Chains A and B, each alone.
Chain A
Amino acid sequence: MSLSLTGGNSAAAAPLISKDAVLAFVRTLPAVTARGIARSAPLVAMLVVIFAIWQFAADHPGASLPAPTKIWADSSELILHPFYDRGGLDKGLGLHLFASLQRVALGFALAGIAGIALGMLVGTSEVAMRGLDPIFQVLRTVPPLAWLPLSLAAFRDAQPSAIFVIFITAVWPVIINTAVGVRNVPQDYRNVARVIRLSGPKYFAKIILPAAAPYIFTGLRIGIGLSWLAIVAAEMLIGGVGIGFFIWDAWNSSNISDIIVALIYVGLVGYCLDRLVALSGRIVTRGTTAN
């Protein structure tokens, strides 16, 4: 119908999008779709094979884990309605994930700010590096959950404790990568800054920060991955709303199907977080690496 705009009355005003442009676009569609299908075919095939084996292995009476068909029967509501809310803790997976993401966002943002600042300090000052780097190297090996009892004791509340665990998990790779990035800023750029007498905060903002940005984003990317690993474990212990608690709660009520659905969601969200940081890194550091 919309294409008939130009038909009949040839004196009519030109349509907003010309017919030729639309046709040209439509003509490219088969090629684009064909390429998309060709590229995703191996993945689809692999998923079909995995689900088939799973179905075959688990679809008999007395199986300890549910088959895909049983999962659908048990938990299709979780998949189809991620945002239902029946009050209390009976919420859709989307709402649980949202609660977890909020914690991660806050903890990770704090870790990013503190990590970049500390990394700058350690990367710039020899004295700071000698004093702080050994401490960082020891503390970063402490598993995230080992911090939880300590932070519960300190904050006496579940919410800040969980955020602290995220912070303390994500901060180390940010610090270490930022410091390496700052130390690796080419002498040429430093010389340019010296000749034009750029110093102090301006020097950091205009030379050091952009030159170290690719390293900083590597640290942030490792950090967001670790945060997501830590939040699920931490929420299992602190309870309340959150995807980690949801999984633990499902285990306590023997809803194995719910657990499997939740795991798939956790994986997909973790993947999206990683892509998101990688993408923002590519946008911010455009041109920095190629020279």
Chain B
Amino acid sequence: MAFLEITDLAVRFKPTAPRVLREVRLKIDPGEYIAIIGHSGCGKSTLLNVIAGLLPASEGGVVLEGKEVFEPGPDRAVVFQNHSLLPWLTCRENVRIAVDQVFGASKSRAERADWVDQNLALVHMLPAADKRPAEISGGMKQRIGIARALAMQPKVLLLDEPFGALDALTRAHLQDQVMEIHARLGTTVIMITHDVDEAVLLSDRIVMMTNGPEATIGEVLDVAIPRPRDRLALAADPRFLAARAKVMEFLYARHARPEAA
């Protein structure tokens, strides 16, 4: 049995409405980095929400380590697209609220405080830990979001377009940090993106979605580039370019967006 298995998953929001997703099948091994890519409206966020347990599956389902997913939980921590930090708490308090909730029974107060700081240090946000979200930049907010998710020690880290709203330089910087964290902790990651370079650079496999409604997995591409990966060295690497070309071909030739929205 796979670590995480998605079996014949279908999602419809109303009983009469057409299915948003259909026949999604995917097996994920521990420690894998999976990118899900597709045009807007292809249901990739829906898929992530089902894995997170925030949305119910209409048919089929998701099994994580032999247990079916039917509600959200800290073993599937989500980094939301718009960071979703609580604005009335400082950065440290935003991480602490998750840590207190998840480890309230198993760790002492001092251990929890220490664990919060360790995770803030992991994303290099310790110096700004006592600022409120409104006082820090978008990239910093997203780093706190990642620290909050990692602090739950999730079995799977779910990233919902985590760098979508950031400028290119900040985005590259954060991608490097996520690669470094993935290398260090070996966390299983599922990341939604619509950036081809990001998908190829970060992931072991790229799941390419067809257009919705009734979207499903069109193709899964293995990215056989050894880690650690370096964005500068890869820029001219034939394996990188080949993988990139395949994803581009899927997205823009075979499954081009039906109408320009």
Contacts and interface: CB of A to CB of B under 8 A. Distances in A.
A197 B134 contact: no
A291 interface: yes
A196 B87 contact: no
A210 B52 contact: no
A290 B134 contact: yes
- Looking at B54, B78, B101, the one whose CB has the most chain A CB atoms below 10 A away is B101
Judged by DSSP, the binding face of B is loop
Interface of A is mostly: helix
Given A197-B72, A198-B101, A290-B134, A191 B78 contact: yes
Contacts of A197: 72-74, 101-102
Given A197-B73, A287-B134, A192 B101 contact: no
B74 A195 contact: yes
A207 interface: yes
Contacts of B53: 194
A192 B158 CA distance: 13
Interface in A185-222: 188-189, 191-192, 194-198, 202, 206-207, 210-211, 213
A210 B78 CA distance: 22
B86 A195 contact: no
B101 A188 contact: no
B80 interface: yes
Contacts of B101: 196-198, 202
Contacts, number: 62
A159 interface: no
A195 B73 contact: yes
B112 interface: no
B86 A189 contact: yes
Interface residues of B, number: 24
Contacts of B116: none
Interface in B92-116: 97-98, 101-102
A188 B88 CA distance: 14
Nearest to A213: B88
A194 B87 contact: no
A188 B102 contact: no
A124 interface: no
A204 to B, nearest CB: 14
Interface string A20-55: 000000000000000000000000000000000000
Given A188-B82, A287-B134, A195 B87 contact: no
Nearest to A209: B88
Interface string B61-76: 0000000000111101
A288 interface: yes
B152 interface: yes
A196 B87 CA distance: 17
Given A188-B80, A195-B77, A197-B72, A287 B87 contact: yes
Contact of B87 (A198, A206, A291): A291
A285 interface: yes
Contacts of A206: 97
A194, A196, A202, A289, most chain B CB atoms within 10 A:
A196
Interface in A264-291: 285-291
Interface in B36-72: 52-54, 71-72
A206 B82 CA distance: 20
Contact of A287 (B54, B82, B98, B132): B132
Nearest to A287: B132
Interface centre among A195, A211, A285 (most CB of B within 10 A): A195
27 contacts: A188-B80, A188-B82, A188-B84, A189-B86, A191-B54, A191-B72, A191-B78, A191-B80, A192-B80, A192-B84, A194-B54, A195-B54, A195-B73, A195-B74, A196-B102, A197-B101, A198-B97, A198-B101, A202-B101, A206-B97, A210-B88, A287-B87, A287-B88, A287-B134, A288-B88, A289-B87, A291-B134
Q: 5 closest Cβ contacts across the A-B interface?
A: A188-B84, A194-B72, A290-B134, A196-B101, A291-B87
